[in-house]
């Protein structure tokens, strides 16, 4: 405590003291907000709701058709700076797990086409970016008591990430956490590794 | 007294502050910026700006010196900001009697969209300004906060600040969705502590009670008399008010200056004014400042900032004729 006090004092006074944390390592010590049973369904341990959504090219993905693979699922929008910061790291995750039975999907939440295309246009992404035009799919994933103060319920899961195991069960489910923002998806990768290890 | 509160934030008082629980570990303040994130930080002067007001005209932040200011960066697309915005108006209403002003800064918004949104969602007690380019937001983005953001101006969105009557940041909160409180409980707690605490100290003992907010010019009655060897300037300070002395012992305080041409007045000793564990040098009641020259012509200039125990008025520079 006393040591901390001294550092805080020197920092406060503009003294030449090195910062107390390394800014380059921005991985938070704890995971983003974890979706728990108390927030309602679905939550970790439950089956992921099925969906069948199209992408911009007219292709479509049915979640249940991916049984047997590990699915990394990200809910995104073009307007959220956290979604934007995470975007290149989703592609990097897809690259790093290529050939390892991991499928990456992003779902753009209820945006007009201009917003959806803005998201698509930012970073080249070699995985399906699906378009939930009506918001029905995100609604089926939104726990009723998560962020109860947010009135537009379709925005509760912006920058949420899920890992779904080969039998369709949710193994990782976090919501956008501004104070513990895991832009590099380190915590999701840990779960993916653990689920892959089970299969191996 | 409140005008002197900033003194507590200076380095002289840091050992005590540092031994207290860090701001971000206190309830409702988990989003507080950390020292390692870089500037701006609490205890630094809030970056000044001039932005167009949604209602017309311009707002310069430094023109609000003398008042406590709550600042909040918002955007119409941000669901958390949307849940908060009505409660900013409640803060403005609840704390207006304490001299607190609330300024909301719309970040990179289309003007028409913001106008219709703010008409519907924002109480008129809040001053709305628009940072169309994000240039001002950029000055409120600590360089090591949200390191993954490429557009650095976005670091400031949904942040909340408390700025004291000297323009010094006293609280700087980044959004914290894990402990989301749209009613700003943490900010209100800090306002109570910062503004309310100084009020209750003022109410103690038998300190004279200040008249309800006076015009800065009305707080100090000034007249100047020429004698053979000096110009004697009498300052009569209204009951319940004080001004800083000519040597206020506080880097943020505005020193009282009385001069004729380039010649400054000599003052009596200041009176000790206690704020927490810090003692400031002030004047109250009636004092005479003496300019040691009688052959100067032209008016006498007087500069001061007047404060009560709970708020400070804008600094003022006046010209006083001699007789």
Rg (CA), chain B: 22
CA neighbours closer than 13 Å in the CB half-sphere of residue A62: 3
3-state secondary structure B93-158: HHHHHHCEEEEEEEECCCHHHHHHHHHHHCCCCCEEEEECCCHHHHHCCCCCCCCCCCCHHHHHCC
Q: Are residues B283 and B147 in the same domain?
A: no
Q: Are residues B164 and B230 in the same domain?
A: no
Asked if residue A122 is part of any domain, the answer here is yes
How many structural domains comprise chain A?
1
H helix runs in chain A, sequence order: 2-12, 81-96, 113-122, 136-141, 186-199
Query: What confidence tens digit (pLDDT) does each residue in A36-54 have?
Result: 899 999 999 999 999 999 9
Rounded to the nearest 10 degrees, how much is the dihedral formed by the CA atoms of B6, B12, B15, B21? 0
3-state DSSP call for residue A132? strand
**With contact defined as beta carbons under 8 Å apart, do B202 and B308 qualify?**
yes
Distance CA B273, CA B276 (A): 10
Range with the poorest average pLDDT among A122-136, B6-20, B139-153: B6-20
- Structural domain includes residue A156: yes
**Tokens for A133?**
């035009």
Contact assignment for A12 to B19 by CB distance below 8 Å: no
CATH code of the domain in which B245 resides: 2.60.40.1250
User: What does the pLDDT read at residue B210?
Assistant: 61
Whole-number Å distance between alpha carbons of A21 and A142: 35
In a domain, A14, yes or no: no
Over residues B17-58, the pLDDT tens digits come to 445 688 888 888 999 999 999 999 999 999 999 999 999 999
Question: Domain check: are B195 and B251 in the same one?
Answer: no
Domain boundary among B159, B174, B203: B203
Q: Which domain holds residue B262?
A: 216-320
Domain finish residue from B203, B224, B256: B203
- Cα A200 from Cα B292, distance rounded (Å): 93
Give chain B's contact residues with A (Cβ, < 8 Å). 11, 14-15, 17-19, 22, 30-31, 34-38, 41, 43, 77, 79-80, 82-83, 143-144, 146-151, 154, 157-158, 174-180, 182
- Whole-number pLDDT of residue A81: 94
Query: Chain A closest CA to B106's CA: distance in Å?
Result: 15
Same domain, B68 and B146: yes
Give the residue on B whose Cα is nearest the Cα of A20. Answer: B36
Is B156 in the same domain as B235? no
Query: Tens digit of pLDDT for each residue in B211-238?
Result: 666 788 888 989 888 877 888 898 988 8
- Is the bond into A42 cis (omega within 30 degrees of 0)? yes
A44 is a domain residue: yes
The tens digit of pLDDT for each residue in A44-85 reads: 999 999 999 999 888 899 999 999 999 999 999 999 999 999
For residue A121, what is the domain's CATH number? 3.40.30.10
Q: Are residues B168 and B31 in the same domain?
A: yes
**Residue A9 in this model has a pLDDT that exceeds 90:** no
User: Inter-chain contact B177–A176, Cβ cutoff 8 Å?
Assistant: yes
Q: Which residues of A touch B147 (CB under 8 A)?
A: 23-24, 26, 183
**Residues of the domain holding A76:** 29-199
């Amino acid at each position: 405590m006393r040591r901390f006090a001294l550092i805080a004092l020197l920092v406060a006074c503009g003294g030449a003291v090195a910062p107390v944390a390394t800014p380059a390592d921005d991985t938070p010590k704890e995971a983003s907000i974890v979706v728990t049973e108390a927030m309602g369904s679905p939550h970790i341990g439950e089956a992921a709701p099925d969906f069948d959504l199209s992408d911009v090219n007219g292709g479509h993905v049915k979640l249940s058709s991916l049984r047997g693979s590990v699915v990394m699922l990200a809910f995104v929008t073009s307007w959220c700076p956290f979604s934007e910061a995470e975007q290149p790291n989703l592609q990097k995750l897809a690259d790093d797990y290529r050939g390892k039975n991991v499928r990456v999907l992003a779902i753009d939440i209820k945006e007009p086409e201009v917003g959806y295309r803005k998201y698509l246009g930012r970073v080249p992404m070699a995985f399906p970016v699906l378009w939930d035009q009506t918001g029905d799919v995100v609604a089926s994933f939104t726990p009723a008591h998560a962020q109860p103060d947010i009135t537009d319920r379709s925005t509760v899961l912006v920058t949420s990430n899920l890992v779904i195991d080969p039998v369709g069960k949710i193994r990782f489910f976090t919501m956008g956490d501004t104070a513990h923002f895991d832009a590099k998806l380190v915590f999701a990768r840990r779960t993916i590794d653990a689920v892959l290890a089970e299969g191996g | 007294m409140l005008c002197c509160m900033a003194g507590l934030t200076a380095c002289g008082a840091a050992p005590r502050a540092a031994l207290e629980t860090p701001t971000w570990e206190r309830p409702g303040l988990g989003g507080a910026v950390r020292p390692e994130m870089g500037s701006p930080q609490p205890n630094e002067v809030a970056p000044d700006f001039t932005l167009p007001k949604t209602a017309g005209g311009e707002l310069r932040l430094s023109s609000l010196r003398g008042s406590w200011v709550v600042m909040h960066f918002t955007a119409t697309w941000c669901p958390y900001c949307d849940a908060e915005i009505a409660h900013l108006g409640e803060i403005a209403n609840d704390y207006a009697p304490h001299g607190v002003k609330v300024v909301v800064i719309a970040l990179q918004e289309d003007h028409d969209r913001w106008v219709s949104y703010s008409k519907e969602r924002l109480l008129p007690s809040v001053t709305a300004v628009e940072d169309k380019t994000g240039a001002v937001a950029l000055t409120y983005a600590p360089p090591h906060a949200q390191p993954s953001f490429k557009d650095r101006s976005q670091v400031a969105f949904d942040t909340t600040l408390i700025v004291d009557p000297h323009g010094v940041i006293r609280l700087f909160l980044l959004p914290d969705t894990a402990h989301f409180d749209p009613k700003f409980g943490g900010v209100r707690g800090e306002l109570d502590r910062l503004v309310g605490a100084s009020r209750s100290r003022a109410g103690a003992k038998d300190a004279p009670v200040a008249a309800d907010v006076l015009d800065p010019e009305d707080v100090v009655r000034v007249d100047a008399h020429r004698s053979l060897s000096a110009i004697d300037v009498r300052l009569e300070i209204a009951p319940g008010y004080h001004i800083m002395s000519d040597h206020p012992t506080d880097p943020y305080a505005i020193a009282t200056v009385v001069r004729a041409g380039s010649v400054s007045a000599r003052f009596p000793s200041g009176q000790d004014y206690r704020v927490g564990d810090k003692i400031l040098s002030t004047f109250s009641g009636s004092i005479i400042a003496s300019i040691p020259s009688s052959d100067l012509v032209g008016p006498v200039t007087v500069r001061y900032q007047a404060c009560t125990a709970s708020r400070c008025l804008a600094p003022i520079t006046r010209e006083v004729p001699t007789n």
